[in-house]
Amino acid sequence: MFVLLTLLVVVSFIVSVVSIIVALSTGKPKTYWIAVGSLYVFSMLSGFSLGQLTIAFVLVLLLLAIGSTVKLMKNATQFTAWLGAGILFSVVMMSYVDDRWLFFPMSLIN
């Protein structure tokens, strides 16, 4: 069981890194959503020490995925605005929301 979870953590990390690189280079919404999902799985499975650090990146990528999906990231200024909003959103969520709620969707699987 431990080997399977370790393999899942490693695979989700590799998928998230590759999809982040592809998403930032192409700007396609699908790759942003793949990056959000795989990084969220990595964040949950890697434990709460590393998971708390990576959940901030998940929240930033989430807003970039939303901005890309609704087609509001057409130039560098709009991308920077969505990136800034994502950073602000992640700071607020990490400061005021308990980790239990940030990882709530994964706890439903248990």
Confidence (pLDDT) at 94: 87
Minimal CA–CA distance to 63: which of 103, 43, 92, 101?
Answer: 92
The answer to whether 43 and 24 are in contact (CB under 8 A) is no
| The token pair that represents 108 in the structure block | 């439903």
* 24-35: b (≥16 Cβ within 10 Å) or e: eeeeebebbbbb
Confidence (pLDDT) at 110: 64
Question: For the segment 50-106, what is each residue's pLDDT rounded down to a tens digit?
Answer: 767 788 899 999 999 999 999 999 899 999 999 999 999 999 998 898 878 888 877
Confidence (pLDDT) at 20: 95
Minimal CA–CA distance to 61: which of 45, 79, 48?
Answer: 79
